[in-house]
Structure 1
Amino acid sequence: MKASDLLVYCLENEGVEFIFGIIGSEVIDLADSLSKSEKIKYITVRHEQGAAFMADVYGRLSGKPGVCLATLGPGATNLLTGIASANLDHSPVVAITGQKGLNVQHKNAHQYVEIVKVFEPAAKWSVQLKDANTIPEIIRKSFRVATSEKPGAVAIELPENIAKANTTTKPLTPTPLPMSVPSGEALREAARLLNQCKKPFIILGNGVIRQNAVKEVQTFIERLGCPTANSFMAKGILSKEHPQNYYSFGFNEKDYAIRGMEESDLLVVIGFDINEKLPSEWNKKKVSVLHIDPLPAEVEVGYPVVGELVGNLKETLRLIFEQEILSKPWQPAGDLKKRIEDAYSISENVPNPANLTLENILHVIEKLSSEQTVVISDVGAHKVAVARTFQPKHANQLVISNGLASMGISIPGAIGAKLAAPEKTVIVLTGDGGALMNFAELETAKRLGLTFIIILLNDSMLKLEVEAMNKAFGENYGVTFSNPDFVQLVESFGAKGMRATQITEFEEILAAAMGKSQEICLIDAILQEKV
């Protein structure tokens, strides 16, 4: 059979449902093979970056690798930002790119770039197919690498002469990843540390969600009875009302949860990815750490590990429950939880509740959201507000890019989200800067018949940069712009556009949009400054 046919059979064998991409001349054999597949739906996108972002969010919400495709040269390099973003956010993604034939790669060929080398620093594994007979091994290894802890992105380069080659090999049977648990000695030492300390403080990371260990973590928190904070990407593990919830940490300014950590004598860190925020930035007092994670702790000056439990989080926490662990209820000084709620506008007692401010918008979204609502935040000043203020009802209901923190993820991400969870209502929260980076993917969503809501925060600036420059220099430069009429623009794609200038108007529009979910709706929110 043709090698490209075998590659498709291998992808089917891995359970791939969708491939996002743009076809070029060097991948037409693979496209021809995909056209015959009854199991994989190929989705033509409008930009390869959008394809990678779709694969990223699909992978996060489905738990299966998202797959994206591009041709050689500019097609492949356009994937790079989305691949790096998926890798740093530990989303399972497999990217396939075309390439010139092996017989011309030693020349200065048209559009030839050594893509394997380009992707190496941005992916978990980057590999070129040099022999059609190795396709089953490389595809099986790629999916295994993409899903093993910590998950990430794999890049596979397919030279056009390899795609056309003949082969008699067959797909390899997928096998489950092995599961490890800590030793009895490590568990006993962890129990000793927990019983010896007086003021433990729990820190939760996105690994808790990836490992499906939310219920076990909740039980552990209840049993220990101590304060708990989460990274940006781990929001929703504890409910807003939970008395031990001290909300998010990881901010550059006003990171109030750190005050509770500094008062602690043991940080119990569960499933935390240090690329969200380096420990040296939030553990400056070098409080001792009990590290609980699928992988050993990384060496970092702000992460003084005194105990490690390395293994599957769900099983590790179940084993901890078998140890005799004393409850350690305590509260940080100065009514810290209330101070955080007030400073981060978590309670609805906010100044100027009638104004169309970002915080008020977040309260409306929270009020109208159900257990079947997924919110995708783009990157910008609003991402910080989302991390502080917005409280999802459950884990994995809020998608934030925080490793690479790349603008432009939200609209293509909504496509990945709806394909991974079609029964859920998806709300996109984006600034006017990030929105226009991948706005063309609305055509992709419309063509697929998908529906979601876009809340576009319209202030004609890169607000984080405006605030940073004003603080540093007393003025700003190069960070403002003009915008199109977003209502007219979205309607040109066949979607519904509405504009809100008051919070009551915004709430009415959002409630109506969430009620009918039969079309893509964009709300152009003209923000008012807080007074």
Structure 2
Amino acid sequence: MKAAEVFIQCLENEGVEYIFGIPGKETLDLVDAISKSKQIQFINVRHEQGAAFMADVYGRLSNRVGVCSSTLGPGATNLVTSIACANLDHSPVVAIVGQAGLERQHKESHQYIDIIKLMEPVSKWAIEIKDANTIPEIIRKAFRLAINEKPGSVVIELPENIAIQAAPPKASPVTQLPTSVPTTEALQQAVAIIHQSKQPFIIVGNGVIRQRATVELQTFVEHIQAPVTHSFMAKGILPKDDPLNYFSFGFQENDQVLQGISEADVLIVIGFDFVERFPKYWNKTKIPIIHIDALPAEVDEFYPVQVELVGNISETLKIMNTIDGLATPWSPSGNLKKQIAQSYQIDWNHKHLRSLPLTTENILHVIERLSSEKTIIISDVGAHKIAIARTFQAKAPNRLIISNGFASMGIALPGSIGAKFACPNDPVICITGDGGALMNISELETAKRLGLSFVIIVLNDHVLKLEEQMMMQKFGVSNGVTYGNPNFVQLAHSFGINGVRAEDVQHFEDVLKTALNAENKITLIDVPLNN
């Protein structure tokens, strides 16, 4: 077999079903081998950045490795932003990059740059295949690294001359990753600290969702009866009306929930990634910490670990849930839960929608009312991301996808395509600002061509709102943050999809209801914001 065919055989062995990408001269043999596969479908897209964003969200929702591809040179450099995004957001992605043949890499050569050096800082591992016989081992290692905690992106480079070499048809066996649990000594120390504490506070991060430990986390919260706050990326881990749910943190230094955290005598931090929010912003008084995660804790002055429960989060919490005497019911002073709920969710009367202004918060209230436990919300990055983190409560875990590690604008539209491949029967709503929307608007053609069905909400205010707010706060004046926009309704029509401009909140709700019930159709809703 040709090495390119062995490569695809190895991907089949890993269970790959989709590869998002754009072909080029250096990947023609690879794409030809994919066309002969009965398992893998090549999804040709309009930009390599979009391809990796699709693989990123596909990986987050499916708990499998998302795969994308590009050719050499400009195709590969177009991947960099979204590969970095997957890495810092801890999404399992493998990128396959074509490259010039080994015979011309030692000298100045058309479209050749050292992609491996470029990709090393933004990935868990970047490797060039120099011998066709190493393909099975390299692919097996790549997929293990991508999915293992903490997940991230891996880049495999396949030179053109290696792709056509003869190679034996052999794939490395796929073995299950080992599951570890904390030591007995560490568990005993953690239990002793909790027994001694009077006011523990639980902080939950994205790792709980990644490791599918939500049920065990909910049981643990009920078991210990301590207040809980969570990061943007852990929304949905507790029901909205759970009395112990103190909602999200990470908006700014004066988050209201920080008042409650400051009253704690121990923080139980579960599956939290520092990339979500540095401890100095939420643990200024250096409260002692019980660290529960798959990996040992980062060294940080404001993260004073007393004991580390290192191992699979789900298995660790199962053990903790069998231990009696952990319950330490308490509530922060004042009526903090009510204050947070009022501040983050805003009073809203759905009986008078026509009289309400078209604000991001009002739009989010409508979306929350119309969404189900299966609805997937993909948020782009901007001022609306903060509003979503504050006001939108996901009804289930891993149903709200926010880029909060690398926080890259432009992820929402291609990410929605990845979401539909991961969960084809679930409703998907893409929420984006006008800035992020136009970064990958070309993928509307991809979605239309593939016959996908989802809703795109463009929050249209002709400004980079978050940057404007920060500049006004810092300088008292803003510059370089405004721009003109196309007619988004006409733009949608030009792609052959439905486009509607919301006239008021009631009209938005009516349009959204219709769009969510439309099969095999994409609807873009242009929302001219009043805020």
TM-score range with shorter-chain normalisation?
over 0.9
Alignment-mate amino acid for residue 176 of structure 1: Q
TM-score normalised according to structure 1 size: 0.98
Q: Which residue of 2 aligns with 1:243?
A: 243
Q: Which residue of 1 aligns with 2:407?
A: 405
Matched, 1:513 2:519: no
Matched, 1:163 2:150: no
1:183, distance to aligned residue in structure 2 (A): 1.2
Deviations 1:281-331 (A, max 9, x none): 211111110000011111011100001111011111111122233311111
1:251, distance to aligned residue in structure 2 (A): 1.4
Decide which of 481, 492, 495 is 2:494's aligned counterpart: 492
Matches of 1:444 and 1:516 in 2, distance apart?
A: 18
Deviations 1:231-270 (A, max 9, x none): 0000000011000000000112541111111110100000
Q: Which residue of 1 aligns with 2:422?
A: 420
Matches of 1:253 and 1:454 in 2, distance apart?
A: 32
Alignment-mate amino acid for residue 526 of structure 2: D
Deviations 1:380-437 (A, max 9, x none): 0000000111001010110000000000000000000000000100000000000000
Q: Which residue of 2 aligns with 1:482?
A: 484
Q: Which residue of 1 aligns with 2:281?
A: 281
Contact persistence 2:204–2:234 (CA under 8 A)? yes
Matches of 2:520 and 2:130 in 1, distance apart?
A: 47
Q: Which residue of 1 aligns with 2:3?
A: 3
Matches of 1:442 and 1:254 in 2, distance apart?
A: 39
Matches of 1:255 and 1:481 in 2, distance apart?
A: 31
Q: Which residue of 2 aligns with 1:355?
A: 357
Matches of 2:412 and 2:74 in 1, distance apart?
A: 22
Alignment-mate amino acid for residue 507 of structure 1: E
1:343, distance to aligned residue in structure 2 (A): 1.5
Q: Which residue of 2 aligns with 1:225?
A: 225
What are the ranges of 5 or more consecutive residues in structure 2 without an aligned counterpart? none
Alignment-mate amino acid for residue 106 of structure 1: H
Matched, 1:174 2:174: yes
Matches of 2:169 and 2:359 in 1, distance apart?
A: 60
Contact persistence 1:346–1:388 (CA under 8 A)? no
Q: Which residue of 1 aligns with 2:51?
A: 51
Q: After the TM superposition, which of the residue ranges 342-351 and 118-127 deviates more from structure 2? A: 342-351
Contact persistence 1:346–1:390 (CA under 8 A)? no
1:98, distance to aligned residue in structure 2 (A): 0.7
1:103, distance to aligned residue in structure 2 (A): 1.1
How many aligned residue pairs are there?
A: 529
Contact persistence 1:341–1:347 (CA under 8 A)? no
Contact persistence 1:74–1:111 (CA under 8 A)? yes
Matches of 1:16 and 1:463 in 2, distance apart?
A: 39
Please show how residues 178-193 of structure 1 align to structure 2 within 5 Å.
178-193=178-193
Q: Secondary structure at the match of 1:157?
A: strand
Deviations 1:310-356 (A, max 9, x none): 10111111111222333111111121111111221255369997111
Contact persistence 1:148–1:177 (CA under 8 A)? yes
Contact persistence 1:133–1:169 (CA under 8 A)? no
1:105, distance to aligned residue in structure 2 (A): 0.6
Q: After the TM superposition, which of the residue ranges 227-236 and 252-261 deviates more from structure 2? A: 252-261
Please show how residues 302-321 of structure 1 align to structure 2 within 5 Å.
302-321=302-321
1:516, distance to aligned residue in structure 2 (A): 2.2
Alignment-mate amino acid for residue 101 of structure 1: G
Matched, 1:26 2:26: yes
Q: Which residue of 1 aligns with 2:75?
A: 75
Matches of 1:348 and 1:420 in 2, distance apart?
A: 34
Please show how residues 29-40 of structure 1 align to structure 2 within 5 Å.
29-40=29-40
Q: After the TM superposition, which of the residue ranges 159-168 and 250-259 deviates more from structure 2? A: 250-259
Contact persistence 2:432–2:458 (CA under 8 A)? yes
Matches of 1:11 and 1:39 in 2, distance apart?
A: 10
Contact persistence 2:65–2:147 (CA under 8 A)? yes
Q: Secondary structure at the match of 2:198?
A: coil
Q: Which residue of 2 aligns with 1:502?
A: 504
Matched, 1:14 2:14: yes
Contact persistence 2:45–2:51 (CA under 8 A)? yes
Matches of 1:345 and 1:371 in 2, distance apart?
A: 19
Deviations 1:128-157 (A, max 9, x none): 101000000000000000011000000001
Q: Which residue of 2 aligns with 1:292?
A: 292
Matches of 2:216 and 2:437 in 1, distance apart?
A: 37
1:169, distance to aligned residue in structure 2 (A): 4.7
Contact persistence 2:253–2:281 (CA under 8 A)? no
Q: Which residue of 2 aligns with 1:103?
A: 103
Contact persistence 1:376–1:410 (CA under 8 A)? yes
TM-score normalised according to structure 2 size: 0.98
Deviations 1:41-81 (A, max 9, x none): 00000000000000000000000000000000110010010
Please show how residues 342-381 of structure 1 align to structure 2 within 5 Å.
342-345=342-345, 348=348, 354-381=356-383
What are the ranges of 5 or more consecutive residues in structure 1 without an aligned counterpart? none
Matches of 2:38 and 2:265 in 1, distance apart?
A: 57
Contact persistence 1:188–1:323 (CA under 8 A)? no
